[in-house]
Amino acid sequence: MTASTPAATFEALDDLDAINKLYRERRWSDGLPIVPPTPERVARMLACTQRKRDDVIAILPPGFGEATVERIAINAVMAGCDAEYLPVLIAATDAVAQAQFNIQGIEATTNPAAVWLVLNGPIVQQLGVNATFNCLGQGTWANATLGRAMRLILQNIGGALPGDMDRATQGQPAKYTFCCGENEAQSPWEPLHVERGFAREVSTVTVVPAEGTLNMNTHSKDAEELLRVMAESMVHPTSNEYCHGGEPWIVFAPEHADILKAGGLSKRDIKERLWELTKMPAGHLSVKEILRAQASRADEYGAIKPDTLLSIARTPDDIWFIVAGGPGTHSVYVPCFGNSRAVTREIT
Amino acid sequence: MTKRGKAALTICSTAFKTLGHAQASALGKKDLPIALMPHPFGLRKREEVRAIAEKCVDDIAQLMTKAGSK
């Protein structure tokens, strides 16, 4: 499919302040200064893909804008991406548009859901994506600008402007940028993309509908205890996941992953343990949330009563994790939107 | 629905009015009738919802008839 119209161009003063003033007035930015997407910069970006500039990668709700390769490139330039990052964003745009990701719901909801990009495979090294120290924080160009570009694509092409079609009550900082690699070298298990059916040497991006991040600090050296305290951290009655049967994510610190591995636990074992340990009596939910759970999960539970033990996800397989970060005893719980499933795409 | 020749309207709470109009417009249906309910809707008791429904049912029927006659 090719675009119905090419991206519009306009002339502006060769002055960064004036251009940023214009972008601010037209609400084309995320609130931070942008890199002007001049035809030359966009052309340099487009040289890093085999795709034609007017190829439509996706139609992005809630505004149903055509996400062409060119428009993705324009937003990538604005976010400060290196030209080599473009294929990641093309794959990520395709991923967010898949029905199971429910981007219409994620963008138009009052929930703070942000799109978290998780990169796997050789591309992590090639682009210098941070998968170690502070990988969810500041300081790495690829992480910062890739996540930012994803947001600009959703806002400028998808039309999800805050207060208009993006109805988030407060939103969250991750809506500016949220991107990391998996620390595959320090993971004792197969990496995420292999688990999701891709060859190890393939590069992928996985899009995850993240509600936020919760630091889970524990100095425990016992695998079973580690899982117990993490599970107790994940249980919270204001979670969308219990209402819908969600897809929670965890970022295990390499140190925690080593303890779990030393405890003889496979990925499957960990998922099953967490699924059991995070079960919560429905009575912990508010009455309204029990009704929401009833509407969403009657097929699983029939009539939900206060003593019905609700699982955080429909099956253990719906609990996902990666290993990322540097040394330290901090893992991260990433609660998710609930009504959505992550999508992985190969980066080509 | 309207593209299939069926009369249609959207019902949403006042907090989603902007979204409703913007999406209708993005889909090329700028004149899609939108019936607005007072926000917040999700926190209301069943009896309150029923009272609101009874209050607006005539207006919604009128909007629907108007949409169907186009």
Annotate A2-62 with three-state secondary structure.
ECCCCCCCCCCCCCHHHHHHHHHHCCCCCCCCCCCCCHHHHHHHHCCCCCCCCEEEEEECC
Return mean pLDDT, chain B: 84
- Residue-wise DSSP of A85-145: GHHHHHHHHHHHTSGGG-HHHHHHSSS--EEEEEEESTHHHHTT---STTTTSS--HHHHH
Say what the pLDDT of residue B67 is. 67
Say what the pLDDT of residue A304 is. 97
In one-letter notation, the amino acid at residue A15 is D
Say what the pLDDT of residue B59 is. 85
Is B28 in CB contact (< 8 Å) with chain A?
no
Q: Are strands A114-120 and A320-323 parallel, antiparallel or unpaired?
A: unpaired
Say what the pLDDT of residue B68 is. 64
The answer to whether the beta carbons of residues A231 and A277 sit under 8 Å apart is yes
Please report residues of B whose CB lies closer than 8 A to that of A167.
Answer: 15-16, 19
Interface contact B22-A159, CB threshold 8 A: yes
Residue of B nearest to A158 (CA): B26
Q: Which residues contact A287 (CB under 8 A, 6 or more apart)?
A: none
Say what the pLDDT of residue A56 is. 98
Is B18 in CB contact (< 8 Å) with chain A?
yes
Residue B21: domain span: 2-68
Other C-beta atoms closer than 10 Å to the C-beta of B38 total 12
Interface contact B19-A63, CB threshold 8 A: no
Q: Could you identify the residue written with the tokens 């305290």?
A: A229
Of the candidates B15, B18, B27, the beta carbon closest to that of A64 is on: B27
Residue of A nearest to B26 (CA): A63
Measure in Å the smallest separation between the Cα of B54 and chain A Cα atoms.
22
The answer to whether the beta carbons of residues A46 and A86 sit under 8 Å apart is yes
Q: Which DSSP letter does residue A339 get?
A: S
Please report residues of B whose CB lies closer than 8 A to that of A159.
Answer: 22, 26
Vertex B24: Cα angle to B50 and A292 (nearest 5): 40
Segment B5-17, tens digit of pLDDT: 888 888 888 888 8
Of the candidates B26, B42, B43, the beta carbon closest to that of A159 is on: B26
Q: How far is CA B50 from CA A186, B55, B61, in A?
A: 58, 9, 16
Rounded distance between C-alpha atoms, residue A30 and residue A153, angstroms: 10
Interface contact B18-A165, CB threshold 8 A: yes
Is B43 in CB contact (< 8 Å) with chain A?
yes
In a mutational test of the A interface, the residue from B10, B13, B16, B23 whose CB has the highest number of chain A CBs within 10 Å is B23
Of the candidates B19, B26, B27, the beta carbon closest to that of A167 is on: B19
- Residue B26, H or E segment: helix B17-26
Say what the pLDDT of residue A101 is. 98
Say what the pLDDT of residue A39 is. 96
Rounded distance between C-alpha atoms, residue A280 and residue A320, angstroms: 19
Number of domains chain B is built from: 1
- Would you give per-residue pLDDT tens digits along chain B (70 residues)? 777 888 888 888 888 889 999 999 998 888 888 888 888 877 788 888 898 888 888 888 888 887 666 5
Segment A204-249, tens digit of pLDDT: 999 999 999 999 999 999 999 999 999 999 999 999 999 999 999 9
Residues (pLDDT < 50) of chain A are: none
Closest CA to A277 of A236, A237, A242, A235: A235
